[in-house]
Chains A and B, each alone.
Chain A
Amino acid sequence: MSEVYRGRAPNIEINKITREKIKFTLSGVDSSVANSLRRVMIAEVPTMAIDVVHIHTNTSSLHDEFIAHRLGLIPLISENQDNYDFPRDCKCTGHCEHCAVQFRLKVKNQEGGVLDVTSRDLRHLSQQGNDVRPADSDGPILILKLRKNQEIDITCNARKGIGKEHAKWSPVATAVFKYTPDIYLNQQRLESQFTAEERKEIVNSCPVGVYKLNEESNIEVVKLNKCMFCEECMRKGEMIITRSASALLNVHDNVVRVSQLKDRFIFKVESSGALKPESIVSKAFTILTKKLDDIKQLIPPLINTR
């Protein structure tokens, strides 16, 4: 299993970064490495999220638990999470400025009509912790709505945590990888045994538009990385061969063949807004390295115990 990548150096290449998304290719490692990277990004990179909610007044139409849950799910910008301790590691009892950022949400609808209460209504209780704030630069995040004279008054603490404990602390919306597609086209047979019409059929069989017919009406791969290994194109190719006269020849030799390169992984990571996508990846590496190191430290003392 391991000779797949033996002798190849591990390599990573960023293909694209935007404000909320990153795509990169990881190669020269086997799928266990890719998978632990993925798992750590989802469940073990810490962020801040609202965790303790005190409800003083709530005359809205939503019950308390419902609102507390919604507050928890608001992504908070957590680039500075290193400055905070996990509540379980903090020396204080309850909360302090090292382990919590406090917010207040106090809104009353006095005007009538329907009033939207959004993440923009969350106010910091003190100056400290201003760097931890809702990630709502794309527009306010709706929490609830109030009718005339309805009122809410809530104080809440944002604390540091990881996705393993509750998904609200996960910094990613998606973190997925797939093998790199490898498409083989037998151009010679496609040209000699297929009509232009049949080639077009193959091109159109792909649901994600991997292929294109070029000027000479030959098949060309244009969006390789879009391929999702559905094998529709292979089936179409086989079908055309089977119905044509040359059916008995070469049936085992597909004109179109899609396979997976099992040591090259295409990653797509989408941030929840709490962390920049590139920070998620690099923090995941830091965490993995630390985990391995922690265990390594503990092995020598075990050597002579019986």
Chain B
Amino acid sequence: MNAPELHELFTLPQGKNKVEYEEDSRIEFAGTFTVHLEDHTLGNIIRMQLLQDDRVRFAGYKAPHPLEQRIQVKIQTDGQISPHEALMNSLESLKITFKGLQDQFEKQAKSI
């Protein structure tokens, strides 16, 4: 009866952008990114990758509600870089990791 509509899995909610940022009003160099239409798949790898960065003081993510298709990633840095840069860096490293793994995998799959 009150199941969420299927299209909510694929279409952005009215008036929302895929990625939104809200600066923290009390803490310096901190803010929350909201990523729509993503779930733990990305949330968890992004958080773990952010924690690898020494300039990141805090990184955490949550999926606020299981029926709402969004995650929130909270980042606080030490001021050497902005939360935006920290997130960009982590996305880039993850991309390199996955690309590298894919290349290795495909090379082996071909030779078997």
Interface residues of A (CB under 8 A from B): 1-2, 6, 9-14, 17, 24, 26, 29-30, 32-33, 35-36, 39-40, 43-44, 88, 164-165, 278, 281-282, 285-286, 288-289, 291-296, 298-300, 302-303, 305-306
Contacts and interface: CB of A to CB of B under 8 A. Distances in A.
A292 B101 contact: no
Given A35-B44, A281-B109, 12 more contacts: A1-B48, A2-B48, A24-B105, A32-B47, A33-B48, A88-B10, A165-B6, A291-B41, A293-B95, A302-B19, A302-B20, A303-B84
Given A10-B101, A26-B101, A285-B102, A294 B18 contact: yes
A282 B102 contact: yes
B100 A10 contact: yes
Interface string B47-83: 1100110000000000000000000000000000010
Interface of B: 6-7, 9-11, 17-21, 23, 35, 38, 40-42, 44-45, 47-48, 51-52, 82, 84, 87-88, 91-92, 94-95, 97-102, 104-106, 108-109, 112
A216 B71 CA distance: 58
A224 B51 CA distance: 33
Contacts of B105: 12, 14, 24, 278, 281-282, 285
Contact of A289 (B6, B87, B88, B99): B99
Majority SS at the chain A contact face:
helix
A305 B20 CA distance: 10
A160 B94 CA distance: 28
Query: Which 8 residue pairs are nearest across A and B when measured between Cβ atoms?
Result: A285-B102, A32-B48, A278-B109, A298-B19, A32-B44, A296-B91, A302-B21, A39-B41
Contact of A282 (B91, B100, B109): B109
Given A11-B104, A303-B82, A291 B21 contact: no
B42 to A, nearest CB: 6
B97 A295 contact: no
Contact of A36 (B17, B35, B42, B52): B42
Contacts of B106: 282
B17 A298 contact: yes
A295 B17 contact: no
B32 to A, nearest CB: 12
Contacts, number: 113
Given A88-B10, A165-B9, A285-B105, A296 B88 contact: yes
Given A39-B41, A285-B102, A289-B102, A33 B97 contact: yes
B92 A296 contact: yes
B35 to A, nearest CB: 6
A36 B44 contact: yes
Contacts of B94: 33, 292
A39 B88 CA distance: 23
A225 to B, nearest CB: 18
A30 B112 CA distance: 27
B47 A299 contact: no
A26 B18 CA distance: 31
A44 B41 contact: yes
A300 to B, nearest CB: 8
A30 B95 CA distance: 15
30 contacts: A2-B51, A10-B101, A11-B101, A12-B105, A13-B108, A33-B94, A35-B40, A35-B41, A36-B44, A39-B40, A44-B41, A88-B11, A278-B105, A282-B102, A285-B101, A285-B105, A289-B95, A291-B42, A293-B91, A293-B95, A294-B18, A295-B35, A295-B42, A296-B88, A299-B84, A299-B88, A302-B19, A302-B21, A303-B82, A305-B21
Nearest to A39: B41
A209 B110 CA distance: 33
